[in-house]
């Protein structure tokens, strides 16, 4: 039709126009390819980050599930700790009482000894 002139031959101007159009299309394809490659890279990085975050959450949930103690068991453990603490306080009180008795007995013995020595020294003069 309009492309074929001069007995089916393409004119030089038309050939130049076709080559220019082809170069423009190749440039557009290169641009779109570069954009798609960049999009794929960005998507891959974001996917990796999402999977990393998911793995961290999964690990955190696994730790919670591993360390989870039912409320009843927690309360029983707390009650046992309180009983143990009360027992320790009771033992500390008993030790204080024993130490006080020992110190009192030692003080009385010291007074008796000192009095006895003083009496002996006085009697020996």
Q: Does the pLDDT value for residue 4 go beyond 70?
A: no
Give me the residues paired with residue 5 across strands: 9
77 contacts 69 by C-beta, under 8 angstroms: yes
The C-alpha angle 105, 106, 107, rounded to 5 degrees, equals: 90
Total tally of structural domains belonging to the chain: 1
Task: Judge whether 2 lies within some domain.
Answer: yes
10 contacts 18 by C-beta, under 8 angstroms: yes
pTM over 0.85: no
Full residue range of the structural domain in which residue 42 is found: 1-68
Task: Judge whether 9 lies within some domain.
Answer: yes
Task: Judge whether 33 lies within some domain.
Answer: yes
Task: Judge whether 52 lies within some domain.
Answer: yes
Task: Judge whether 78 lies within some domain.
Answer: no
Task: Judge whether 12 lies within some domain.
Answer: yes
Task: Judge whether 58 lies within some domain.
Answer: yes
Per-residue pLDDT at 122: 87
Task: Judge whether 40 lies within some domain.
Answer: yes
Q: How do residues 80-95 score in pLDDT, each as one tens digit?
A: 999 999 999 999 999 9
Gap between the Cα atoms of 76 and 86, Å rounded: 15
């Amino acid at each position: 039709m309009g492309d074929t002139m001069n007995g089916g031959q393409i004119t030089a101007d038309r050939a130049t126009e076709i080559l220019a159009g082809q170069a423009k299309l190749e440039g557009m394809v290169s641009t779109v390819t570069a954009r798609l490659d960049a999009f794929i890279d960005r998507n891959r990085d974001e996917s990796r980050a999402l999977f990393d975050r998911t793995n961290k959450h999964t690990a955190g949930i696994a730790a919670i599930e591993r360390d989870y103690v039912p409320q009843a068991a927690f309360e029983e453990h707390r009650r046992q700790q309180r009983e143990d603490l009360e027992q320790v306080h009771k033992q500390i009180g008993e030790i204080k009482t024993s130490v006080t008795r020992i110190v009192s007995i030692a003080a009385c013995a010291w007074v008796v000894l000192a009095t006895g020595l003083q009496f002996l020294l006085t009697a020996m003069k």
